């Protein structure tokens, strides 16, 4: 049986996303087959595609999309505890398709009150944010947190997680002051426009008891790094999650030493499947109750039809969204 799926295809100028007719997969072992109702888009897929050139023999057409939600239609022989008809969300390759395979060990049941679009906005950003903020930065109740590029999917997830885990000040940064009210609604206590001067001083004014932030969850990268270090409290933890603004930043080693700061990098690119699964497991252990009662939820800015990935990517690069952009198959 045939289905439509999106593949990233290498070209001379970089990767392009192409809709193809392919065979519908069959689940085996611990796999399940999901009828995809919604799939979350991610900026990383745009950035990665630029280097996906046909001149490099390592690159071949690959299924695209890394998070999705839908209904199970078939289960493998070893996928115990799961059955057809269940509403699930998952983090896995090939989510931009009518049907997608997922390991039963990577599935999350969708709460009854949550739509498929909201569910598709959860797996990638919340697992990534939990790994950064809780597993790596070791957030303790009462600490102050900065979330840069806070209107992004990672940003809105990090704000919610910081609130659930008892952060004191949750400072959201943006370059668009028109996003202030929406970020406060998500859960930020304060919003700073980093396109205006004085960002570190504003952080110190907000956190006068700590004289800076205990934790910074950063998705901007190089252009904001010097100011971020200046805004960090003594013994603060800086976690680099994304580098959407650039990979190179200025580092004052005296500032680093005086603050006794920790610089932490995190990514899934260099993790084994077992390590990635442990991140998923840690998120479920810590956050299943908050997902169920609505304290954590997927923030969906806009949905696009399944056949409009190009339009969704164009909108994403406009930087206009608050939260996630989702493709829907319904």
Q: Strand runs (DSSP E) across the chain, as ranges?
A: 2-9, 16-23, 31-40, 62-63, 67-75, 87-91, 99-103, 107-109, 145-147, 170-174, 190-193, 213-218, 232-240, 262-265, 300-305, 324-328
Residues 70 and 201 in one domain: no
DSSP states along 76-110: -TT-TT--TT-EEEEE-TT-SBSEEEEEGGGEEEP
Contacts of 290 (CB under 8 A, 6+ apart): 164, 296
* pTM (2 d.p.): 0.93
Both 64 and 193 in one domain: the answer is no
CATH value at residue 76: 3.90.180.10
CATH number at residue 147: 3.40.50.720
Predicted confidence at residue 111, as pLDDT, reads 94
* Other CB atoms within 10 Å distance of the CB of residue 13: 10
* Number of structural domains found in the chain: 2
Q: Are residues 192 and 86 in the same domain?
A: no
4 Cβ neighbours under 8 A, 6+ residues apart: 19, 20, 21, 22, 97, 98, 306
> So what's the pLDDT on residue 183?
97
Res 313: pLDDT: 95
Is residue 143 domain-shared with residue 112, that is, in the same domain? no
Residues 194 and 176: beta-carbon distance below 8 Å:
no
Q: Are 139 and 252 within one domain?
A: yes
Are 55 and 151 part of one and the same domain?
no
In terms of residue numbers, what domain contains 168? Answer: 125-265
How many whole angstroms separate alpha carbon 283 and alpha carbon 56?
36
Nearest to 42 by CA among 252, 329, 328, 326: 326
- 136 and 116 share one domain: no
pLDDT in tens, 113-136: 999 999 999 999 999 999 999 999
| 229 in a structural domain | yes
Q: Given this model, what pLDDT does residue 269 score?
A: 86
Q: Give the tens place of pLDDT for each residue, 198-253.
A: 999 999 999 987 789 999 999 998 899 999 999 999 999 999 998 887 788 888 99
- Residues near 207 by beta carbon (within 8 Å), at least 6 away in sequence: 144, 169, 171, 213, 233
> Is residue 61 situated within a structural domain?
yes
Determine the pLDDT at residue 72.
98
Structure tokens at 122: 């959860």
Residue 149 resides in a domain: yes
Compute the distance between CA of residue 285 and CA of residue 278 in angstroms, rounded to an integer. 10
pLDDT beneath 70, residues of the chain: none
């Amino acid at each position: 049986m045939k289905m439509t799926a999106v593949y990233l295809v290498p070209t001379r100028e970089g990767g392009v996303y192409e809709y193809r007719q392919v065979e519908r997969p069959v689940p085996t072992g611990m796999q399940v087959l999901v009828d995809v109702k919604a799939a979350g888009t991610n900026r990383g897929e745009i950035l990665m595609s630029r280097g996906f050139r046909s001149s490099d023999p390592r690159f071949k057409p690959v299924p695209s999309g890394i998070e999705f939600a839908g209904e199970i239609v078939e289960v493998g022989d070893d996928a115990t505890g799961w059955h057809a008809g269940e509403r699930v969300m998952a983090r896995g390759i090939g989510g931009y398709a009518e049907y997608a395979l997922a390991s039963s060990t990577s599935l999350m049941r969708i709460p009854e009150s949550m739509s498929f679009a909201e569910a598709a906005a959860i797996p990638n950003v919340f697992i990534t944010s939990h790994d950064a903020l809780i597993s790596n930065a070791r957030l303790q109740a009462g600490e102050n947190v900065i979330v840069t590029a806070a209107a992004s999917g990672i940003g809105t997830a990090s704000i919610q997680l910081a609130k659930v885990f008892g952060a004191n000040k949750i400072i959201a940064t943006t370059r668009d002051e028109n996003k202030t009210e929406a970020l406060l609604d998500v859960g930020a206590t304060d919003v700073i426009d980093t396109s205006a001067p004085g960002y570190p001083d504003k952080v110190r004014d907000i956190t006068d008891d700590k004289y800076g932030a205990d934790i910074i969850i950063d998705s901007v990268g190089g252009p904001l790094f010097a100011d971020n270090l200046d805004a960090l409290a003594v013994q603060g933890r800086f976690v680099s999650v994304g580098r959407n603004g650039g990979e190179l930043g200025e580092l004052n080693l005296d500032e680093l030493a005086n603050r006794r700061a920790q610089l932490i990098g995190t990514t899934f690119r260099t993790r084994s499947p077992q390590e990635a699964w442990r991140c998923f497991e840690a998120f479920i252990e810590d956050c299943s109750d908050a997902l169920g009662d609505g304290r954590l939820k997927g923030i969906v800015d806009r949905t696009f039809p399944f056949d409009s990935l190009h339009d969704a990517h164009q909108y994403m690069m406009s930087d206009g969204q608050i939260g996630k952009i989702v493709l829907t198959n319904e």
